[in-house]
Structure 1
Amino acid sequence: MELVNLKESSDTASFSQAIVRGLGKNQGLYFPTAIPKLANMDQLLEKPFVERSVEVLHALIGDELGEGVLDDVVKEAFTFPAPVEKITDDIYTLELFHGPTLAFKDFGGRFMAQCLSRILDGKPVTILTATSGDTGAAVAHAFHGIENINVVILFPDGKISPLQEKLFSTLDGNIHTVAIDGDFDDCQALVKKAFDDQQMREELHLNSANSINISRLLAQVCYYFEAVSQIPEAERDNLVISVPSGNFGNLTAGLIAQAMGLPVKRFIAATNLNDTVPRYLKTGEWDPKKTVATMSNAMDVSQPNNWPRIEGMIERGYTDKALLKGESVDEQYTHLALRQLAQAGYTSEPHAAIAYRSLTHGMESGEKGLFLGTAHPAKFRETVENALGQPISLPKALADVAGEDSLAVKLSADYETLKKHIFDTLKGNA
């Protein structure tokens, strides 16, 4: 597999090189030089999830990891289902929260961990990543206890749900968490500065596990195929998929799946009040505003890192901008969508509720809709209970950490302060 840096076309990488580097030169994102078109789609969609995922990823990556290695990676990473549930006659949801940290990012986090541990073969590396909520837990659990890999996770202090934070800030050993006094964009900016710092890169062997890492992104392609495989065949050609969008890795993965031949009529990019992309799609002007804190905190992103990949796909003809619609949903309508889903007999959470609202607002006559359920509703217990006026129970993964103390260190959004903390913490361990 050949990948190219979208900012520096002379900077190319194999899949293995891109996983290890994370970002390319000038903070550029790696992206495939070509996206393969899959044949016999109907036969492919009849296969079991893991078997199909191996075939999809093999088409993208090839034999680079070695014979049989990709099969083993997928089998060890994708050990949980992604079921589709019917909400109404015309609307379905894809539940992506049945993994160990109850969020869609378990797919990408576990796939990356399995790939990287084999590629490094015992060489040291430091994973530095920012999270707006679910990435932190998925990455922490995927890499926890893996020898010679340290993980440093930055998150906006007080701006993710308490249970989201507990899922990763209570781990010890090779997992190190930092609560930054700022928003997610501040955390993301600190990560970018670290990757521009030669001393950090070389002495700590930096890598990132955000969706900027190509391995995370490619893993997410697989569950779009799983979603469509569960939709009645007669409805697939008119299927509209609404994706709750923050950093836009999830939507990028869906567009890659579509480019590979997956039958999806069009996509809806569903955001909260942080509506940079919906405004851009309507006006053609890229005008990020200051990030606004919302109940759908994992989407509180004003400058989505993955958007250049989508722009690259549009420029290369892999996707049609006209088939991508943006919808922004405010707090009032998010609450309303949660209640509407409950009235339909389905308990959801704010991010999926935004995707549901965007879908019902954006579907046309004769279309069928699917929205992505990216997290278990219990991860946003207080918000959901407030909206529905009734208690919800905690699954075991959350109940086990709810009473534990956070091990996160609080720091300002100052790069030199963060750099000193990381070196002091990891000295002799990286």
Structure 2
Amino acid sequence: MKLENLKVKQDVTFLDAITLGLGKEQGLFFPSNIAPIENIPALLKEDFVTRSSHILTHLIGNEIPAETMKSIVEAAFTFAAPLNQVNENTYCLELFHGPTLAFKDFGARFMAQCLGRYNALVKGSELQNDTENDARDGTDCSGQKLTILTATSGDTGAAVAHAFHGVDDVEVVILYPKGKISLLQEKLFCTLGDNIKTLAIEGDFDDCQSMVKQAFQDDEVMSQLNLNSANSINIARLLAQVCYYFEAIAQLPAEQQAEAVISVPSGNFGNLTAGLIAKALGLPIKRFIAATNENDTVPRYLASQQWSPNQTKATLSNAMDVSEPNNWPRIEAMFERGIIARESLTAVAIDEQLTQLAMKQLYQQGYLSEPHAAIAYKALKHALVDDEVGIFLGTAHPAKFKDSVENILGEMIPLPEALVECASEAILSHSLPNDYEQVKAFLLCRYRQK
């Protein structure tokens, strides 16, 4: 698979990209070509793991042999992504049945499996060439201890932490906005210890994300820490998410598939990017809706063609509290190259009052949801027309937002086992101000202790 840096000239393979994370000058890696898959109807009849293996092999090519890909997917996708019918023409694709109860489990676990087999894959790959040396500036990182540095607005942290917890030769450092994620979200990844280090930053998610990017451009940090990122900027996570869009359509009745409209709760826009890739591969999705909260940079941009991020607002849907979505350049590239028509995407911003109303409306229909999915549902209802079938993405288990869900609905909700296990554990995070130099000092101190 040939990937290119969307900012500067830099061509890499998939295996290069998953270990580099971010390209030169903070550029994102993206496929130079997305070829449609033949015989989509036959593919939709396959089981989830078999279909996903075919999709990922098609995208990545022979860098990962088909048999190895099947074993990677079998190890990563050990849970279902059911399509739950809410009413006559509306469904929720539930992506929260993994170990950390959020859609991030798909990408994080796939990435962990790929990195765990990296050295063997590189040695066996027939595609290693001079672009590898160009990508790495001559540095051979095989065999070194890997430091995964990532930022989270809530769910990425847990998925990455659990995917890599206890993995040899990998240390994970996660930055998150202090006091701006739910307590149960925090407990899921800040109580593990061992090779998982968590930093509570006195800022918002955009501040955390900015410091991660800065670290990747810091020669001193890069020379001492074999850095990688597990945010949705990492191409492995992004490509894994393509698979569950096929799973959604596969579960629809055949006569409804061509009329499917999918509403995606959007913060950093990796989830939507994956959906657009699925459409480019030939999956019969009529169009997409980018559903945001009051951090509405993209809806305003699509309306005015002016990119003007505002200060990030704290909302009920904290995982979407992002004003400068990192993945938007990938979507823009798909537009500019004609891979996806701009008409395939609309965007709707949902405020706090409408978010709560949507949660109540869903509950009245017998469906328990949480703020992120509720925003996607409300945006879907705003934009759906006659004869269309709507799918909104359920990206996290309602219990991860127990306090807000109970306050809004006036009903107690039980905790699933994964949250019961961590609820009484002590949070092990270090608190730091919104200051890159102090984050850098922490990282380098970790290196000197290795």
Question: Could you tell me the TM-score, scaled by structure 1's length?
Answer: 0.99
Equivalent position of 1:295 in the other structure: 316
| 1:89-113 deviations in Å (ceiling 9; x for gaps) | 0100100000000000000000000
- Residue pairs, 1:238-387, within 5 angstroms: 238-387=259-408
Provide the secondary structure at the position in 2 that maps to 1:178.
strand
Q: CA 1:342/1:189 → structure 2, altered by over 3 Å: closer, same or farther?
A: same
1:199 and 1:148 map into 2 onto residues whose CA distance is 20
Q: Give the CA deviation at 1:353.
A: 0.1
Provide the secondary structure at the position in 2 that maps to 1:400.
helix
Q: Give the CA deviation at 1:403.
A: 1.1
Equivalent position of 2:140 in the other structure: none
- Residue pairs, 1:72-87, within 5 angstroms: 72-87=71-86
| 1:175-212 deviations in Å (ceiling 9; x for gaps) | 00000000000000100110000111121110000000
More displaced stretch, 162-171 vs 64-73: 64-73
1:198 and 1:216 map into 2 onto residues whose CA distance is 25
2:219 and 2:10 map into 1 onto residues whose CA distance is 17
Amino acid at match of 1:310: I
Equivalent position of 2:7 in the other structure: 7
Q: Give the CA deviation at 1:422.
A: 1.5
Provide the secondary structure at the position in 2 that maps to 1:267.
strand
Q: What residue ranges of structure 2 are gaps of 5+ in the alignment? A: 121-142
| 1:370-392 deviations in Å (ceiling 9; x for gaps) | 00000000000001001100100
Q: CA 1:238/1:5 → structure 2, altered by over 3 Å: closer, same or farther?
A: same
1:123 and 1:421 map into 2 onto residues whose CA distance is 20
Is residue 89 of structure 2 the alignment partner of residue 90 of structure 1? yes
1:72 and 1:355 map into 2 onto residues whose CA distance is 33
Is residue 243 of structure 2 the alignment partner of residue 222 of structure 1? yes
Q: Give the CA deviation at 1:421.
A: 1.1
Provide the secondary structure at the position in 1 that maps to 2:401.
helix
Q: Give the CA deviation at 1:365.
A: 1.4
2:97 and 2:421 map into 1 onto residues whose CA distance is 16
Q: Give the CA deviation at 1:234.
A: 0.4
Amino acid at match of 1:74: V
1:372 and 1:323 map into 2 onto residues whose CA distance is 17
Q: Select which of 404, 415, 418 maps to 1:394.
A: 415
1:120 and 1:326 map into 2 onto residues whose CA distance is 42
- Residue pairs, 1:180-219, within 5 angstroms: 180-219=201-240
- Residue pairs, 1:42-191, within 5 angstroms: 42-66=41-65, 68-120=67-119, 122-191=143-212
Amino acid at match of 1:358: A
Q: Give the CA deviation at 1:413.
A: 1.0
Amino acid at match of 2:421: D
Q: What residue ranges of structure 1 are gaps of 5+ in the alignment? A: none
Q: Give the CA deviation at 1:66.
A: 3.7
Q: Is the 8 A contact 2:263 2:291 kept in 1?
A: yes
1:247 and 1:309 map into 2 onto residues whose CA distance is 11
Runs ≥4 residues deviating over 4 A:
none
2:291 and 2:119 map into 1 onto residues whose CA distance is 37
Q: Give the CA deviation at 1:123.
A: 3.1
Q: Give the CA deviation at 1:42.
A: 0.7
Question: Could you tell me the TM-score, scaled by structure 2's length?
Answer: 0.94
2:272 and 2:118 map into 1 onto residues whose CA distance is 27
| 1:267-298 deviations in Å (ceiling 9; x for gaps) | 00000000000011111110100000001000
Q: Give the CA deviation at 1:65.
A: 2.4
| 1:348-367 deviations in Å (ceiling 9; x for gaps) | 00000000000001111111
More displaced stretch, 413-422 vs 161-170: 413-422
Q: Give the CA deviation at 1:424.
A: 1.4
Amino acid at match of 2:115: L
2:61 and 2:91 map into 1 onto residues whose CA distance is 33
Provide the secondary structure at the position in 1 that maps to 2:87.
coil
1:120 and 1:18 map into 2 onto residues whose CA distance is 14
1:363 and 1:308 map into 2 onto residues whose CA distance is 27
RMSD between superposed Cα atoms in Å: 0.8
Q: Is the 8 A contact 2:53 2:66 kept in 1?
A: no
Amino acid at match of 1:174: N
Equivalent position of 1:38 in the other structure: 37
1:414 and 1:19 map into 2 onto residues whose CA distance is 27
Equivalent position of 2:138 in the other structure: none
1:148 and 1:267 map into 2 onto residues whose CA distance is 40
Q: Is the 8 A contact 2:376 2:392 kept in 1?
A: yes
Amino acid at match of 1:276: T
Q: Is the 8 A contact 2:154 2:319 kept in 1?
A: yes
Provide the secondary structure at the position in 2 that maps to 1:384.
helix
1:123 and 1:242 map into 2 onto residues whose CA distance is 41
Q: Is the 8 A contact 2:146 2:170 kept in 1?
A: yes
2:411 and 2:162 map into 1 onto residues whose CA distance is 30
